[in-house]
Amino acid sequence: MKKRGLAVLSGLLLIVGFLSACSMSATQTPKIAGASKATPTLFFHGFGGSYHAENHMAQAAVTAGVTKTVIRADVTNSGKVTLIGNFKPNDRHPIVEVNYLNNHNPNYHTDAKWAKNVVVKLQQRYGVKKFNMVGHSVGNMSIVFYLLDNAGNTKLPKLQKQVDIAGHFNGILGMDDAPNRMKLKADGEPTTINSHYRELLGLRHDQQLKSLKVLNIYGDKNDGTHSDGDVSNASSKSLRYLLPQVKSYQEKRIVGPNAQHSKLHNNPQVDRLLIRFLWGKS
């Protein structure tokens, strides 16, 4: 009986060990060649949008030969991140289309937390050490509030380059701004400041951003409103005052019908600007 009991116990231990090994294999981080040396670029969509709004820019990068990898990061209302797809072996410039499943969230600090969760997920899975961010419309607020809340966290990967498209850093037309109402002083400081911008002033003295390179793209319909139809140029350009310490900062004005707010993320001129800025390719 004693020998039989030992045999049964040994069998159970073998089964438990086998199941444990299977479980570890199922959850183990995939080993992809060169993944830890990759610098992914995260794209953030606007209010009410989805990753579909990022497809045009992502595919422009693929066509330009910059990358072969475009994956998606779905983020639930609770902040859980699911990566759909994998980095291709030795692809140094993968693109991650961030997709907020709650695309009507009004809290920018929550957006920042979701953005951080995506960064952490990429760090855990691929060993990412640095990355870029591209935002359109409210997607820019994910970026700047991410920086406000996390720039000093040295355990996170380092943001290298930031592209802002149609950013409403200090107001939206028809809500807390009007055409030609807000002005910028010589140093870029807005003459009127809303509550979100007041919070973002905390970025001005963050020396963790000294190595950051920024490209700020804004649209002007050239109809006298000095706006893209939804955001005044002054609101978009007010980003400069928030980031006096960065390594480089440049602004690009897009003019004409395709400079309208919702058309900017499908504008070939914008594609060329961000591809050149992020990856040095024309």
The first and second tokens of residue 49, run together, are 């949008």
Model pLDDT, residue 8: 41
Contacts of 33 (CB under 8 A, 6+ apart): 89, 90
Task: Give the C-alpha distances (Å, rounded to integers) separating 271 from 1, 188, 221.
Answer: 76, 26, 18
Residue with tokens 């200090």: 170
CA dist., res. 254 & res. 218, Å (int): 6
pTM: 0.89
Tokens matching residue 72: 């998606």
| CA 271 from centre of chain | 16
pLDDT in the model for residue 30: 53
Q: What is the pLDDT of residue 79?
A: 98
Give the three-class secondary structure for 248: strand
Task: Tell me the pLDDT tens digit for each residue of 94-139.
Answer: 999 999 999 999 999 999 999 999 999 999 999 999 999 999 999 9
User: Contact 76/101 with Cβ under 8 angstroms?
Assistant: yes
CA dist., res. 153 & res. 265, Å (int): 30
Q: What is the pLDDT of residue 36?
A: 83
DSSP state of 50: -
CB 140 within 8 Å of CB 167: yes
CA distance readout (Å), 20 to 10, 26, 28, 119, 121:
15, 10, 12, 29, 23
**What pLDDT is attached to residue 12?**
42
Return the H-helix or E-strand segment holding 213. Answer: strand 213-220
Q: Beginning with the edge strand found earlier in the chain, give each strand of the sheet holding 158-165 in spatial order.
A: 81-84, 70-75, 95-100, 41-44, 130-136, 158-165, 213-220, 248-255
What is the Cα Rg of the chain in Å? 22
Residues of the chain with pLDDT under 50: 1-28
For 62, which DSSP code? Answer: H
What is residue 256's predicted lDDT score, i.e. its pLDDT? 86
- Polymer length of the chain: 282
CB atoms within 10 A of CB 3: 7
